[in-house]
Amino acid sequence: EFDVPESHPRYESLLTRHRIEAGVKKGITSTQGLIAEGRGEAFDYLLGERTTESADEAERVAAASLLLADRPVLSVNGNVAALVPGEIVELAEATGADIEVNLFNRTEERMEAIADHLCEHGASEVKGLRADGRIPGLDHERAKVDADGIESADVVVVPLEDGDRAEALDSMGKTEIVIDLNPLSRSAQVAAVPIVDNILRAVPNITAHARELADEPASTLETIVSEFDPDAALAAAEEAIRHGDLQ
Ligand code: PTJ
């Protein structure tokens, strides 16, 4: 049980650790997920544990891009499932996206545990178990995807993704929205929309933007997407880490 008071200065960070630990115990999160979490925390600390102005802009662009997509998919791994299961379901509903479990360390047990966990949090359909599609250029287990999911998606949200897979998805011509606290990671570097923010803050904020943009004409959404500069977003994140930004 998690019984740290909300007034604790490190409440969010402790809650995050608790969720990841519980995820490992439940068979959802891999033990490597603990390491990924530690790495993310360090970057979040340097960013001031807040959504920067440029991350908020990237989150709005992500929402516009998902609303414009023909076949948007939200990719879920063991860390994502532990940290934001309900929030992912809400984002899927707000944007009409599919949810697909896609693991770096794929085992059938963990695939099923994560799919069940997402269903417990309101998902009506979870893809990834059929595994009748492939991402070219990756070894067998890591290449497995659903043919009517990630394989045929036009826009994919890949949070906390490993660099190889982000590059392989980019080579398939997908528009990638990457959520990663490290602006120097290869995943963030190849993304059409890099979001340098904690997934705990990023996913609900993309949903909020999607709800706000839902009735806008496609032309407005297209302008939002086309005016976005991913290199400038990465540079702003790096600047916020080095010097803090003046908000
Ligand atoms: O569940 P699996 O088998 O698919 O494995 C998932 C992990 C995350 C273990 C796997 O993809 C992995 O090893 O990832 P990496 O290479 O450690 O990359 C994770 C990235 O996510 C790092 O750049 C971290 O800074 C970042 N990160 C960690 N926690 C968060 C985060 N970014 C946003 N929000 C977080 N809470």
- ipTM given for this complex: 0.98
* Residue 246 domain-assigned (yes or no): no
Question: What atom of ligand 1 comes closest to residue 198's alpha carbon?
Answer: 34
Do residues 20 and 2 make contact, with C-beta atoms less than 8 angstroms apart?
no
174 burial via Cβ count (<10 Å: 0-12, 13-18, 19+): buried
**Vertex 196 angle, CA 194 and 124, to 5°:** 75
Return the pLDDT at 245. 61
Give the per-residue pLDDT at 247: 47
Per-residue pLDDT, 237: 97
Q: Please give the backbone phi and psi of residue 234, each rounded to the nearest 5 degrees, phi first.
A: -65, -40
| CATH number of the domain enclosing 103 | 3.40.50.12640
72 Cβ below 6 A of ligand 1? no
Across 61-72, average pLDDT: 98
Atom 24, ligand 1: which residue's CA is nearest? 40
Q: Is ligand 1 within 6 A of the CB of residue 51?
A: no
Distance from the CA of 160 to the center of ligand 1, in angstroms?
A: 4
Tell me, using a 6 A CB cutoff, whether residue 194 lines ligand 1: no
Q: Is residue 6 part of a domain?
A: no
Q: Using 50, 70 and 90 to split pLDDT, how confident is the model at 244?
A: confident
Does residue 223 lie in a domain region?
yes
Cβ(66)–Cβ(88) below 8 Å = no
Question: What pLDDT shows up at residue 147?
Answer: 98
Out of 79, 88, 169, mutate this one to test ligand 1's pocket (max ligand atoms within 8 Å of CB): namely 79
pLDDT beyond 90 at 88 = yes
How many whole angstroms from 82 Cα to the centroid of ligand 1? 12
Number of domains in the chain: 1
Q: Could you tell me if residue 28 is inside a domain?
A: no
Mean pLDDT of all residues in the chain?
A: 95
pLDDT band at 8 (very low <50, low <70, confident <90, very high): confident
pLDDT tens column, 202-227: 999 999 999 999 999 999 999 999 99
pTM: 0.96
Q: Tell me, yes or no, whether 95 lies in a domain.
A: yes
Is 123 in a helix, a strand, or coil?
coil
Q: What is the pLDDT of residue 226?
A: 98
Residue 234 scores a pLDDT above 60: yes
For the chain, give the percent of residues with pLDDT over 70: 99
How far apart CA 118 and CA 128 sit, in angstroms, is: 12
| Host domain of residue 152 | 53-241
Residue 131 counted as domain residue: yes
Between 10 and 20, whose confidence is greater?
20
Instruction: Please report whether residue 37 resides in a domain.
Output: no
Residue 10 among known ligand-binding residues? no
Say if 36 falls within a structural domain.
no
Mutate to test the pocket of ligand 1, among 49, 74, 160, 195 (most ligand atoms within 8 A of CB): 160
Q: What average pLDDT does range 215-244 have in this prediction? A: 96
